[in-house]
Amino acid sequence: MAKTQGRRGEVAAEVHSDVPGRLHQGMRAFALTRTLGPNQDARRELRIDDAWPHKSYVVLKFAGVDSISDAESLVGCELQVPLSERAKLEAGAAYVSDLIGCTVLNCPRGDLGREDRQREDRGLEIGIVKDVRFGAGEAPLLVVVGKAEYEIPYAQEFLVRVELKHKRIEMVLPDGLLDVNAPLTDEEKREQKQRH
């Protein structure tokens, strides 16, 4: 949640959902605080009393959060919706939480559409999705950790197959995309050392 909004405990939240009216009165949600350190996240259950759009945000009024100081404790929290209350998605869409932990593979262009290959043979493993970042462009960025940390656009034109059940994302990436975040070669390290 981005900031307090109003005097009665309202908060303004960025919503990363294409489902209109996704957050509504009576809905249960959780505020997740990630500032405590590794493996020390704190969750607080909340019930939405009211929700309305305001500029690029959705303003939320939660039961029991009745002052600015109450609302301040929610700023910076990630708002999570329980699995049982998630909206049904259209084909091709995915929840961020379902993408986290998926293995990303870069498929050779000549192998596209070949169903006869074993699942293990469907491309070169790049790494595991650690996070999803929004706001850097039209497509969200998958933060993938492998030999290095890569930011890969989760764009329809790169996707070959998404198997959330098997935690796999198969893509065909443009030449050079992975080189943008690639670790330095030994030669590049020597050149950099000589310059300093």
**Residue 191 belongs to some domain of the structure:** no
More confident residue, 144 or 22: 144
Question: Which tokens sit at 24?
Answer: 């509504």
Is 102 found in the same domain as 81?
no
List Cα–Cα distances, 159 to 109, 134, 155, in angstroms.
12, 18, 7
Task: Label residue 82 by pLDDT band (50, 70, 90).
Answer: confident
- Residue 13 sits in a domain whose CATH number is 2.40.30.60
CA 173 from centre of chain:
19
The one-letter amino acid at 12: A
Query: Stretch 20-37: mean pLDDT, rounded?
Result: 81
Query: What's the CA gap between 91 and 89, in Å, rounded?
Result: 7
- Residue 152 sits in a domain whose CATH number is 2.30.30.240
State the pLDDT at residue 56.
86
173-183 residues labelled b (16+ CB within 10 A) or e (exposed): beeebbeeeee
Residues paired with residue 57 on neighbouring β-strands, in sequence order: 54
Span 40-75, pLDDT tens digits: 668 899 999 999 999 889 999 999 999 999 999 999
Task: Label residue 182 by pLDDT band (50, 70, 90).
Answer: low
Please state, for a pLDDT cut of 90, what percent of the chain lies above it. 50
More confident residue, 49 or 39: 49
Question: Which tokens sit at 152?
Answer: 């890969």
CA-closest candidate to residue 143, choices 158, 157, 128: 128
Query: What's the CA gap between 106 and 196, in Å, rounded?
Result: 36
Task: Label residue 118 by pLDDT band (50, 70, 90).
Answer: low
Is 126 found in the same domain as 65?
no
Query: What's the CA gap between 81 and 24, in Å, rounded?
Result: 11
SS3 190: helix
**Residue 157 belongs to some domain of the structure:** yes
State the pLDDT at residue 95.
84
List Cα–Cα distances, 48 to 10, 26, 64, 116, 134, in angstroms.
10, 5, 10, 49, 24
The answer to whether the beta carbons of residues 22 and 14 sit under 8 Å apart is no
State the pLDDT at residue 72.
95
Q: Are strands 168-171 and 103-106 parallel, antiparallel or unpaired?
A: parallel
State the pLDDT at residue 192.
77
Is 101 found in the same domain as 170?
yes
Is 104 found in the same domain as 60?
no
What is the number of domains present in the chain? 2
